[in-house]
Structure 1
Amino acid sequence: MVILDHYIQLWLQYAKGKELGEKIEISLQDISKTLYCTDRNSKFTIKKLEEIQWISWLPGRGRGNRSKIAFLQDPALLIYEKGKELVKQGEIKSGKTFIQTYEEYFPCILEQFQTWIDTLFGYHIEQSPKGRIDVLRLNMRISPIICLDPMYVTLRSECHIVKHVCDTLVHYNEMTNEIEPRLAFYWEYNHTHKIWTFYLRKGVYFHNQKPFTANDVKYTFKRFLSTKDNPYRWMLQDIEKIHIVDEYTIEIHLQTENELFLHILGGEHCSIIPESQEKENEQYILNGTGPFKLVKNDDALLILEVNPLYFRERPFLDRIELWYSQDISSYSGYEVLLGSLHHDRKGVQKETSQLEANVTYITLNTKKQGPMQNVTFRQALKQIINGMQILNDLKGERGEVATNLLLGKTIEIKKESSIKELLEISGYRGETLYLYTFQDQDHVEDSHWVQRECAKYGIKIELSFLDVHELLTLRTIQEADLIHDSATISEHAELSYLYLLLTTNSFLHQHSSFNLNEKLKHVFKEQNRSVRMQLLGETEEELLECIHIIPLYRNYMTIHTHEGIQNVAINSQGWINFYHIWFKYLHNVTR
């Protein structure tokens, strides 16, 4: 890049406004002065530029005869090509930064680069020495996915990648509400429902070519239970003993019957990992048996490649690239994929909207000493933080007021006149409350709205917009008075709600003064799903009535579907299942 920078500096100084190839009189000393270097280094630069045929150089002979230089390459084109080269090498941010460095001198170059970047995203058919490769490349305007250890994944993006890289013993089918085989092809239990025997598939390999056996299952679950800071330990807390019968048979003994045990084993947090873990730069490397293998994940790019030896049907896609490039492209997320594939604008498109099951909410820290422990004060906050008013004021994708997360009843919002009365009764004396949330735009907008509305009644709110992993630390959660978040309500509603109530780094779990573990212990022993849902609903109603949580709204998600895309659907986590998606052949799909 140094030689290119030298060429551009010389061109700007001596050739700007002149024709390519035009001979320009110059001295060696002129070049040294422009490049801030010695004459010796200038001679080296001239020689290098000649070798790569960017200039022609005619040295001056004799006293008074100046040298002549001719610039042979358009510097804007060289900058453009170098930017492209950096991007193709995975240096995405460096590529755009490099282009922006020269934007002042070549105003059109950024727009040209941006147009090229946009052509990269969407579905492409590429060629390699091994033949055709079907690639899906997406510009994800999210923070880089850092945590990919199944035991710790919390964010929707993290969970989604783990589901594609790893497998579980069993799988919950949300369409049929049935448990299906995965790594275990058959299972049975004794008459007390406390001893479960799983029969494992033969011929399954991890991505590092290690064969899958019962040892890996035992290792995964032992690690899960022995790790003290695992926020999901409650999921397997009923396991008393794990016994390997043989290489492909394993018994799991429970302390007590658990009617949700199979459902829990199908969660991505219980993904099976190999007994021998690998690390790179002290970082855990995700290695599973799933349909895709993780081949790269840094602060710019995540790449999944197909697992050709997958024990189920092979995916259609060969490679998936998620670019954490923020504003590098005018397209984001699935816009290219679901819209026009960017390259084919002739196909039929349909637009459908669906209301997300996920609920945006605010938790109130009833454990922390201060105003929040007063139920009357919380009643005042409940009336101030009005979901309907947020929708009316902020609009956007906010679609419907949420009065509950799962099953709870609607709580009537009283007239404004009662808010001042409640605050007076509560004894609030102007203490500052701390609201913490994520840095995403919708969280920021909602939090500023809450701050403004509370200020109308003399309630002081200080806002903090934190990095994901800082916000998820127990110390941070416990020091916050309020936390703004969005609850993922997946197709498996029971587990979604249990995640929210029992996971130790869940905001509601940490903020509620209820003993939620005690309240929910009967849920696991109930055979009837309807009764389990009723028990969960009763817990939610109590949380709502005591105002430990304030539901706000559900978002609308609009999908533009192109006729060439098959089996595409947005799940509850806002992601596409890459395993099922495929593309019909259409003319001009790729360039």
Structure 2
Amino acid sequence: MQAVQVERYLGLMQRFAEGTGVGTPIEVMLDELAKALFCTTRNAKLVLRRMEEDGLIAWQPGRGRGNRSRIVFRMEQDALALDIAKQLAGLGHYKQAFELLHRFGSGAAVKEGFNEWLTLHFGYRSETGEDARQVDLLRLPVNVPLVTLDPAEVFFAFDAHLIRQLFDRLVTFDAQANRVVPALAHAWDCSTDATVWHFHLRRGVYFHHGHELTADDVVHTLERLRTGKANSWLVRSVVAVEAAGARTVSVTLAKPNRIFDRFMCSTAASILPRDRMQQDEEAYWRRPAGTGPFMLKERNEERIALDANPGYYFGRAHLDGVVIAHVPAGQGIDSEYCWQRLALTHDVREQERDQDWAKLDSLLQGCSLLTWNRNKPGPQQSQSFRRAVDLLLDRSLMIQELGENRIYAARSFRPDAHSALRHVRSDGEQARTLLREAGYDGAPVTLFTRKFHLRDAGWIRTRCAEFGIPVDIRLIEGDDCRDPGVIEEADSILYSVVFAEDEVCEIETYEQAGSFVNAHMDPALLAWSLGRIDLALAAESPEQRRFLLEEMEDRLREEAQVLFLIHKRSNTAYKPELKGIALSSLGWIDFKDVWIQTDGAVPAHR
């Protein structure tokens, strides 16, 4: 039975059988039926006859013009909506499935039933592939949209995570060992003044479309990154990129940068194939090819499908594929199973969720924060006003009332060893005094944020209202988050930062085009910050560099340019037999090393 036919049936039932139900004859004019079906009376007759053939209705047309027809609905609305929603989701049409349930699922029972079905649909399972062989797939639901797969334009953590599945960088940062390790480059070196860097490429690394990686691909990638991209800050001091042979790249800088190899660990420095990009860049981004552990098989508004790269130079992934389903927010499906980072394993006979699941928690290296627009007229121009809002936002109360993954009050970008003990000061009386000093007249403040932060924004609005500050919340999503006009319109923006590469990501916060901190900073403060960054990059020791970066952070806090709010944790839950689960620095599951233990044996530790 076609989904479109069922949707027509459910629409008619909702329109004409409300309060009547199944099996009761209902008299209705054919013109009314045609109007409800959005077609002519002639086509309405055809549709109704097909519904009758499918066993959905019994229909007796009225005799003569103006006489009423008689229609009997035979299928229960909720049961039919649930059945078709499962069929749609099973075919990968998640958006249609959720929209259908949102429109026609009349009670909690149908949504509960769909949630139960999702527990078997999402997760890790073996299936028969198109060539009749068994394939191991991991299906994950997410409720954030993919904005871009272009490393040069990446801004959000989810986008960065997917880019890291498709592309590799010259080098990568090992957070546990706190050092840069080889990736596409097997070795690298720099001049004594850190202004000339050489990267030596591996042999036998191939892009997904079969082209072997050469120095020309690296040169093309870095030169493209210099052409006014959102992440051009990464190569701000680069004056020349040259191929010194087929497998050596030379990068010359205008100023010393002793952590330039750390810069090359950034997602934005992912290496692209010159041949495909120069042939047709627009076509390339519809199905980009990198050198990463997974290849893009399919991408649409409902799902992203990845296949394992069989020739991956660091070893093939254990999984055969990953399917990431976009579960739209606000469709009335509040499912405990629709977690962004949930990993499950299923037995087709299993009907109840096993309680003995393993859990993995990590403290995200970042925080939620609120940045004030110093480049727009409004009450936020007053430092006294900004400091007042900082003082009235009681972080401990926010954590207590909102709970979930909010864990520590923040006074800086990253949590540290003392975050669990730290209390960020809140003082309502002083906040009122500062509001008077600012001459605040009750003008409303526009607060822009994404759906992901809507609860936090609502809490901030309620808290500000207690002090006479009206807050107008406006939602932004997708490309709107990068629109300069949207950013300029906001008095303040609430969002989160997650530092995948520690110091480099911290510098990115100040320098990236479209970064909310960068776009909202007072010009003099921004210029001062960029000067401090140059000093930090030239610093002889990590301690000197850390001192300069913390000095910048201190000034943001002292001027209340940024209000640091909450440190959060990321977590996942999964069956014990699912192995290789680890949360990346971006807070997502690294797909490459996930595998299933099916024989009951305990793997040896190495």
Q: Give the stretch that moved more between structures: 422-431 or 480-489.
A: 422-431
Q: Take 1:475 and 1:171, find their aligned partners in 2: how far apart are those partners?
A: 35
Residue 604 of structure 2 corresponds to which residue in structure 1?
none
The CA distance in 2 between the partners of 1:46 and 1:257, in whole Å, is 77
Shift of 1:402: 1.2
Is structure 2 residue 503 aligned with structure 1 residue 494? yes
Q: Is this contact kept in 2: 1:374–1:426, CA < 8 A?
A: yes
Partner SS for 1:246? coil
2:166 maps to which residue? 165
1:300 pairs with 2:302: yes
Distance in 2 of aligned mates of 1:214 and 1:531: 34
Q: 1:189 to 1:495 in 2, by over 3 A?
A: closer
Return the offset for 1:180.
1.4
* Deviation, structure 1 residue 499: 1.6
1:334 positional shift? 5.6
1:402 aligns with 2:410: yes
Deviates more, 1:502-511 or 1:345-354: 345-354
Which residue of the partner structure matches residue 443 of structure 2? 431
- Structure 1 position 237, deviation (Å): 1.5
Aligned to 2:198: 197
Alignment pair present for 1:455 and 2:465: yes
- Map 1:170-319 to 2 at 5 A: 170-226=171-227, 228=228, 230-275=229-274, 276-277=276-277, 278=280, 284-319=286-321
Give the superposition deviation at 1:34: 11
Would the aligned equivalents of 1:139 and 1:329 in 2 still touch at CA under 8 Å? Answer: no
Q: Which residue of 2 aligns with 1:382?
A: 390
- SS of 1:495's partner is helix
Distance in 1, matches of 2:49 and 2:409, equals 68
Q: 1:425 to 1:298 in 2, by over 3 A?
A: same
Q: Structure 1 residues 80 and 525 mapped into 2: Cα distance closer, same or farther (>3 Å)? A: same
Aligned mate of 1:139, from 129, 138, 141 = 141
1:333 corresponds to 2:346: no
1:266 is paired with a residue of what secondary structure?
Answer: coil
Cα separation, partners in 2 of 1:531 and 1:118, compared to 1, 3 Å: same
> Whole-Å Cα distance in 2 between the matches of residues 125 and 146 of structure 1?
30
TM-score (norm 1): 0.82
Residue 257 of structure 1 and its aligned partner are, at CA, apart by 2.2
Distance 1:7 1:417 in 2: 61
**1:68: which partner in 2?**
none
Query: What secondary structure, in the 3-state scheme, does the structure 2 residue paired with 1:520 have?
Result: helix
Whole-angstrom distance in 2 between the partners of 1:526 and 1:97? 55
More off after superposition, 106-115 vs 270-279: 106-115
1:256 aligned counterpart, secondary structure: coil
1:98 CA displacement: 4.9
Task: In structure 1, give the amino acid aligned to 2:546.
Answer: M
Letter of the 1:391 partner, please give it: I
State the 1:325 CA deviation.
2.1
Residue identity opposite 1:572 in structure 2: S
> Structure 2 length normalisation: TM-score?
0.80
User: How far apart in 2 are the matches of 1:256 and 1:46?
Assistant: 77
Shift of 1:437: 1.4
1:279/1:285 contact within 8 Å kept: no
Kept in 2: contact 1:403–1:552 (CA 8 A):
yes
Write out per-residue CA displacement over residues 503-557 of structure 1, whole angstroms, 9 at most, x where no aligned residue. Answer: 1211122222212212211111123112211211111112111211111111244
Number of residue pairs matched by the alignment: 558
**TM-aligned CA deviation for residue 389 of structure 1:** 2.6
| Letter in structure 2 aligned against 1:437 | T
* Unaligned runs of at least 5 residues, structure 2: 35-39, 58-72, 601-606
- Contact 2:95 2:326 survives alignment (8 Å): no
What CA distance in whole angstroms lies between the structure 2 residues aligned with 1:316 and 1:384? 50
CA–CA distance in structure 1, aligned partners of residues 471 and 46 of structure 2: 65
1:496/1:48 CA distance change after superposition, 3 Å: closer
What letter corresponds to residue 398 of structure 2 in structure 1? I
- Paired with 1:382 and 1:238, the residues of 2 have a C-alpha distance of 36
Q: CA deviation at 1:234?
A: 1.6
Residue number in structure 1 paired with 2:514: 505
Residue 584 of structure 1 is matched in structure 2 by: 597
Q: Tell me how far 1:46 sits from its aligned partner.
A: 7.3
CA 1:172–1:335 in 2, change beyond 3 Å: closer, same or farther? closer
Query: What are the Cα deviations for residues 234-285 of structure 1, in whole angstroms up to 9, with x where unaligned?
Result: 2111211122222222222222221111001111100001112255679554
d(CA) in 1 for partners of 2:50, 2:340: 48
Q: Is the counterpart of residue 413 in structure 1 residue 425 in structure 2?
A: yes
Q: What is aligned with 1:62? A: none
- SS, match of residue 374 in structure 2: coil
Contact 2:295–2:309 (CA<8 Å) still a contact in 1? yes
Change (3 A) 1:537 1:92: same
The whole-number CA distance in structure 2 between the counterparts of 1:456 and 1:188 is: 58
Q: How many angstroms does 1:122 deviate by?
A: 0.7
What is the aligned-residue RMSD (CA, Å)?
4.1
* Partner Cα distance (2:80, 2:467) in 1: 60
Q: Quote the Cα distance in structure 1 between the aligned partners of 2:81 and 2:321.
A: 29
CA shift, 1:231, in A, is 2.2
Identity %: 24
> Which amino acid in the other structure matches residue 424 of structure 1?
R
CA distance in 1, matches of 2:138, 2:85: 22
Deviation at residue 303 of structure 1 after TM alignment: 0.9
The answer to whether 1:321 aligns with 2:328 is: no
In structure 1, distance between residues paired with 2:425 and 2:79: 63
1:422 aligned residue? 434
The DSSP-based 3-state class of the residue aligned with 2:244 is strand
1:64 maps to which residue?
none
- 1:472 to partner: Cα distance: 2.8
What's the CA shift string for 1:342-398, capped at 9, x where partnerless?
Answer: 948568434455443321111122333343232222222221122123223333332
Give the distance between the partners of 1:303 and 1:173, measured in 2 at CA. 28
- CA separation of 1:133 and 1:517: change in aligned 2, threshold 3 A: same
Letter paired with 1:333? W
Residues 1:448 and 1:39: Cα distance change in structure 2 (over 3 Å): closer
SS of aligned partner of 1:337: coil
Q: Structure 2 CA distance, aligned partners of 1:548 and 1:507?
A: 11
Asked if structure 1 preserves the Cα contact closer than 8 Å seen for 2:151 and 2:163, the reply is yes
Deviation at 1:159, TM superposition (A): 0.3
Distance 2:108 2:574 in 1: 36
Q: Which 10-residue stretch deviates more, 519-528 or 259-268?
A: 519-528
Q: What runs of 5+ residues in structure 1 fail to find an aligned partner?
A: 19-29, 56-70
- 1:468 CA drift (Å): 3.7
Give me the whole-angstrom Cα distance separating, in 2, the residues matched to 1:576 and 1:332: 15
Indicate the larger mover: 154-163 or 445-454: 445-454
Give the direction of change, closer, same or farther, for the CA distance of 1:102–1:548 in structure 2 (3 Å limit).
closer
Other structure's SS at 2:343 match: helix
Cα–Cα, structure 1 residues 454 and 5, in superposed 2: closer, same or farther, change >3 Å? closer
Query: Retained in 2: the 8 A contact 1:123–1:341?
Result: no
Find the counterpart in structure 2 of residue 465 from structure 1. 475
2:577–2:598 CA contact under 8 A, matched in 1:
yes
- The verdict on how the C-alpha distance between 1:101 and 1:382 changes in structure 2, with shifts beyond 3 A counting, is closer
Give yes or no for contact 1:316–1:579 (8 Å, CA) kept in 2.
Answer: yes
